[in-house]
Every structure is written in C-alpha cells, then in structure tokens.
Amino acid sequence: MSYQFQESIQKGILYLSKSNKDFLVQSMPMVQQDYFEFPTHQKMYAVIRTHYDTYKTLPTDDQILESIKAIKSSNELLGDYRDEIESINRLDTSAIDNSEYLLDKVESFAKAEAMKGAIMNSIEVLKSNTPDFSKIEADLRSALSINRNVDLGISYFENVEERWERLSSNDVNAEYRTPFETINTELEGGMAAKEMAMVVAPPGVGKSLFLANQAARSCLDGKDVLYVSLEMAEDRVAQRLDSIFSRIEQRQLKTRVPELKARLESVTKNISHRGKLVIKEFPTKRCTISGLRAYLNQLSNYSNFVPQVIIIDYLELLTTEAGAKEYQAQERLAQELRGLATEYNCLVWTATQTNREGKKVNLITDAELADSYGKIRVCDLAFSINQTEQEFDEHKARLYLMKSRNGRARFVVPIKIDYDRLVISEDK
C-alpha cells in the first residue's frame, strides 16, 4: 500500500480520534486500521476504535497503553508506544484542530484506497468463467459511496417540531399526485419521494397509456420526469404526450402542428413552474438497473438533469442477472427499482402484466399477477386496470386499488379513457 499522507497528518488523525468524539464518529466509517503506515499507529487506532465500540467513550492515554499490552508483539516495547503517545500529544494543535480539513483528507484517502481494492477484486472476479458483474458493481458503488456526510436518519424525539410542521402543511405529498383525485385523497395528497408505484394490467389494456398520463400529470405539477420506454420508440411516446397535453386527436397531429404548438404553450402559461420531461428508449430486454444508473449519472453530468419522477415502461422488459428464474428475476427487479427510488430520492412508477387469467376475470387481484406476488410487496402503491368488452366499447374502465402504504386498499375507482386524445380521467 502507498501512503498518500505525511506522518504528521496520520498523527493528527490519531490525536483527534482519541480526543474528539465527533471526529472519531464521523471518520470511523471511512478509516481502516491498515490505512496507517506504521504498526504502532495501526495498533493505537485499533485500540481507540475497540474502546469506543465497547464503552461509547474515548479512551485515556493510560487505557490505550493498558490495551496495547495485550496485543503488542514480543519484540515491541511498551515504552515505544508511550513515547509515541507523548509525541502525538505534543503536536502543534493549531495545525490539526481543524477537524473539517482532516475529515476531507480522510474522505479522499479512504475513497481512493477503497477504489483500489474494488478494482483489484474486480480483476479476480473477471478471471472466473462466469463472472458475477453484480459483485463488481456492488464493490465499486460501495467505494464511491464513501462520504463523511452520512445520513443517520431522523431522531424521532429531537425532530418533533420539524416533522409536525411538514405534516401540518397541505402539500406534503401533493406534488406527487396521480391523475385521480380519489386515489390522491386516499394517499393523503399523493405519493412521496423514495416511493414506488405499480400498475397491473393484461396486455393491451392501457399500462403504457396510464404511465404516459402520469408523466404528464407530474410534469404539470412541476416535477422533472424521466420516461424510460422499453418497448415503444421515443418519437411514438412523444406523440402520445402531444395528444395528452394538447387534447388533439392522434390522427390529427400531423395536420394541426401550428395548433399543437399553440396549445402546448397555453397548457403551461398559467403554471408557475413546469417540470422538464425526458424520454429515453432502451432496447427491449437490454436495459439493466446498472444501465439505468449509468444513464442517470450521464443525465446529471452532461445535462444537469436529475429526475424527481422516473417512469419505467414496463417491469418485464427490464433484464437482470443471468440464471435467475423468471419469478425471482421479476421480484429482484422490483426490489432494485425500489432501491433506485431511495438512492435517487425520487418517485418510481412502473407497470407489470397479469397472467393469462387476467384477461378472463372481472376484477384483477393478487391472484392474477404474472410470475410473482413478491414484486407487489415492495411497492407503496399498486392497482390494477380492469375492463370488460362492454366497458371498452363505452371507453370506460375501473382501477382497483390493491395496495397502499397507509394500509387501506381494496376499493374501485371508475375511469374514462379518451382513445382519440389518449387521456385517462376519473369518471365521477
């Protein structure tokens, strides 16, 4: 191992680790024992960590020496450690009391060393006849995720006022609305960031159409939306959205372009903030969660676009690691999408197909799910689109709420479908 930091900085880290609890706590997730160049420093740091892990207090110098007695090698002198501690205590504290500076240095160093380790491990994985690329991805992500600004969550009793202020506001979830007010009311305003919603329907019953309407709703609510199409060409998705926004029939779009432009401008002129909408096509069964993550990074780096709503059209057309059984693959993909929502602090919408029975029943429930019920378990919201032949002729359907995060589900919302303008709305 090569050592990036001079000895004085390494000593400074040890000094603050044994004298500054906040520094130790913040640096612990990043620092490993072998990051120190000298064996004496490695053992001292190990003792400090062990003492804190055991007693939740910083050790005294005498306690450090007492613990070192038990782990030093036979050729090591305790006096050497005592001298080293005294040397550390004599440091010019004015040069090292800047814990923020040292934490930044530690973060850079730890990330660099972790990346080296991940790359070396990747080389070994690639030597296998069946390399596990997910292992490589996980190691690299772990290395890149090293960050001293760790989110430790909400302190329940200490953040009461802040939480109640958010809860008492009327728009906690209103910015993530669905196109249906009955469902929004059930969800106390709508969906929230870090959540996932799923639409269930047989082939040809309106999954993609619903997702396009959801994209439009989110965009008009001021949210930046990424629409990932795994089946339909980008231009075709854009044309659907043209009709949804403008209320111009699909077959008339080509002949009414000036009116289309005027209506699109009119739709947003009274909106204080219209969200951006990016449509991205991936080849069917060629898009992985890793590929999505790489694309999201590209959007952020090259376009400064960070979506608040991600729409995946649809789940079965994603692909996962080879060898997984179909039901396992679908559940795994749903879990990965749910993780993506948390990782990117966004709302994820997707759709999934029913099994063969889905076309035959009047009301699609859990029993008609294709491949696995497990993909529904990870969702915060799931509903099916139900339609008889008569309802199709009448341009109607029913949404059946199968699952909601607040526990109340199992009710039906009638909807209308304008097949000419591709608009879905609640049938009140």
Residue 330, domain extent: 171-426
Q: Is residue 157 in a domain?
A: no
Q: Which residues of the chain, if any, have pLDDT below 50?
A: 1-2, 170-173, 323
238 CB neighbour count, 10 Å cutoff = 15
What's the pTM value of the predicted model, to 2 decimals?
0.68
**Cβ distance 291 to 282 under 8 Å?**
yes
> Both 187 and 67 in a single domain?
no
The pLDDT score that the predictor gives to residue 197 is 94
Residue 409 lies in a domain: yes
Residue 46 lies in a domain: yes
Q: What is the CATH number of the domain that holds 251?
A: 3.40.50.300
51-92 confidence digits (pLDDT tens): 998 888 999 999 999 998 888 887 888 888 888 888 888 876
222 inside domain: yes
Q: Report yes or no: 383 and 398 within 8 Å, Cβ to Cβ.
A: no
What pLDDT does residue 271 have?
66
Query: What phi-psi label fits residue 316: left (phi over 0), alpha (psi between -120 and 50 degrees) or beta?
Result: alpha
Number of domains, the chain: 2
Q: Closest Cα partner for 203 from 318, 353, 313?
A: 353
Q: Read off the pLDDT of residues 247-306 as tens digits, 9 standing for 90 and up.
A: 998 899 888 998 988 888 887 776 667 888 999 998 877 788 888 888 888 888 888 899
Same domain? 288 vs 346: yes
Number of other CB atoms surrounding residue 211 within 10 Å = 23
pLDDT value at position 404? 85
